[in-house]
Amino acid sequence: MSQSVAMIALLTVPGNLYAAPVREERPNAMEPVPPADVKIGGYVGHRLDRNLRGILMHKDENALLQPFRERSPKQSAWIGEHIGKWLSAASWTYAYSRDEQMLAKLKRVAGGLIATQMPDGYLGTYAEQDRWTGWDVWIHKYNMLGLLDYYDVTGDVAAIGACRKMGDLLVGTFGPGKRDILKAGEHSGMASASVLQPVLMLYRRTEEQRYLDFAKYIVEATERPDGPRIVSTLLQNGNVQQVANAKAYEMLSDIIGMIDLYRISGDDRLLQAVTAAGDDIIRHRLCITGGCTFGEHFRDEGYLPNAGHVAETCVTMSLMQLYRDLQRTISTGDVKYVGAAENLIFNHLLACQRPDGEQICYYTPMWGHKFYMDLLGCCISSGPRALAIIPSMYYLRWSAPPTQDRVLVNLIGESTLETTLPNSQKARIEQHTDYPFSSTVRIKATTEGWKGYSLSVRLPASASKPAISTNGQPVPLDALSEKMFNVLVRGTPLEMDIDLHLSWRIIEGTSANTGLFALQYGPMIYAFDLHANRDVPGAINCAFDMDLKSLAPQLVKTGDQWMAKVNGHIRQADGSWKPAQITLLPFADAGVRDYFSVWLVDRARHNPNGISLFTQVHENTSRLGSNRGSFADNSTATFTNTDNGEKRDQDWFEVDAGWHTKFNVIIFRHGKATPTGGWFDTSKGKPKILFKSWHDYTEVASITDYPATTAENPSTLTDGQAFRVVIPKDKREPAFRVRVTGTPAAGNKPAQNSASCSEIQVFYDPTVD
């Protein structure tokens, strides 16, 4: 092992190097301190501990290794990615915790994986005849990432040896005159091109030019006319939705690798493209809780449904990496990336983790029910990896060799840093606070060296009018940033008191969330939780006056649980409202046992039609007609029909959330009858309701009170008429598609027929038997 590589093994931090053996044209502006020097307590520290002692420690080792021991065409195409993700998450967690049980498991899993490597370097799960198809390169990417991260914290030369073999196999297989890297992966080649990141990591640890050349080939390939053209598209319009097929996870995986290539090569176009992506995501693509994507793709601004495949956890992990790397790369005065990371951490990231740390959400909805899992699923493996990034973001140091060391408190939170800085100064920094549930922060900073160090503190975006004093003296904010200030730590211990002046904030819903609002304190979004209000009769029907004076929110702590008490109202059977005190939980804690909702109903704009769980989700029909209005917008003003001039035996309308949602009531609203049809003919049977889950469509109920119509006569049916169906107990199950199907009517034109639909609404009513 070379001296430079040995140094890396000692100084590595998650995803970045504390010292690099290669020349960098654009070195990082900032670097994290060694993760073992950081100890995080409080709310976040507890969640990190549960990540270690929960899903990471309890993961079945044989399940991770079996796909490599028995390579078979019958396996899931990406089954091999999980062990690499686990190795990265476990390595980063060990680097922070120094837990010996974690280290022992790491060594067993890494050793088991290396033992399955083929003589030619192949370390995938595909049978010989299927190599380099589907997700094979992607699997090698994660195996390289995992083993390199493991090598960094253990110095195990077998791991770097296995990565060299994989790297050499890739270099020998793909490139000009060889196989095409883009044709070896999905999503316009973005999946296979994402091997860029570990190839550059391997280059940093070996200084072998062939790996850098291969990395440059990958980026060049992505810019071909038949490639995803990530860089050129972002430089042209700065819109991630217009890159290739807008598949977020794979695109971000490529972009993360491009950041490292920018640092090494100095190609400014790469950084310009990456920052364009980051800025577009922050400004236009995020939920208020920091998560991103619906259906795993970037969507139009404002199109963010609240149920189903919301905020893929793999994307949450990738956003954490993107924000972390951009903050370290770009000018230290720009705090938008760490601000976005903080919003993500305290909301959608911690919300995807079950509080006991045993399971992870594949997708994390904004209302409904959370479905936690512990299986070999891509997002279930990504969640622990995302959580393991957090310690590397708490404290940073400036990279340029100054005459005086400079440390940044990057995230506010109960924690301690005890480290030796590059100029041999020993620093100890303590944060004592209940943030994000409290505005008060006390920071104690000491040094043993005579030179001392400069201490900068980044204040959270939610700090409205912060007041700071050190040893009783006021401190002005840094002119570079209204959210940062600097002090000198030398000789006498420094005690700093900060009042962040956090306040409650109302976030008014827009687009499909019009008439709704969310409540935020500091960085945390608070959500209605049915279980927390189990002693409030009719709590599911609560609404609120959308002003802080009426809400009068108060934070309280019961045991270990923080919650907010707010004034609300319960809608009664006669339509009147009864005042009630309602409990809200942090989004990260809500929905563990029962229904929850980030969005609260504004009583003044209460929709008598109700707000469907499936608002704004995908809509499908058996055929397209002349009117194509939405039937997932909670409005009878829009409808869709199937009058395309053809005659069919059956027509159907469907709402599709893309992921499991728990519900028990369906409301179907008829669209509009015309002289030539537009309704269901019940002479051949009442319209039926079908669910689709993992199995095929299953009939669960009929719309029994639909009028007795014929093909020629709509009977008493009126435009927009609603039909409420309670799903029988024995047919209830979480599902992601609801279809209403029936026989279309012809009216006075028998050569054709059609049906119409104004709404398919989906509800969860806990009072239904």
Q: How many CA atoms lie within 13 A of 8 on its CB side?
A: 27
Helix (H) or strand (E) holding 425: none
pLDDT score, position 14: 52
* Strand 367-368 relative to strand 596-597, pairing: antiparallel
d(C-alpha 575, C-alpha 191), whole Å? 53
Give 301's contacts (C-beta < 8 A, 6+ positions apart).
284, 285
* pLDDT of res. 549: 98
> 720 Cβ partners below 8 Å, 6+ apart?
636, 639, 669, 670, 671, 672, 758
Mean pLDDT (10-residue bins), the chain, 769 residues: 35 42 88 96 98 97 96 86 98 98 98 98 95 96 98 97 98 97 97 98 97 98 97 98 98 98 97 97 97 95 92 98 95 82 98 98 97 94 98 92 82 97 90 98 90 90 88 70 79 92 96 95 98 96 97 97 98 95 98 97 92 96 96 94 97 96 97 97 97 93 98 97 97 95 97 98 93
What digits encode the pLDDT tens for the residues 575-620? 999 999 999 999 999 999 999 999 999 999 998 889 999 999 999 9
User: DSSP assignment, residue 390?
Assistant: T
Q: Check: CB of residue 94 under 8 Å from CB of residue 390.
A: no
Q: Note the pLDDT of residue 344.
A: 98
pLDDT of residue 695: 84
The rounded distance, in Å, linking the Cα atoms of 84 and 107 is 13
Q: How far apart are CA 244 and CA 232, in angstroms?
A: 11
75-99 exposure pattern, b = at least 16 Cβ within 10 A, e = fewer:
bebbbbbbbbbbbbbbbbbbbbbeb
As beta bridge partners, residue 618 has 656
Angstrom distance (rounded) from CA 395 to CA 96: 13
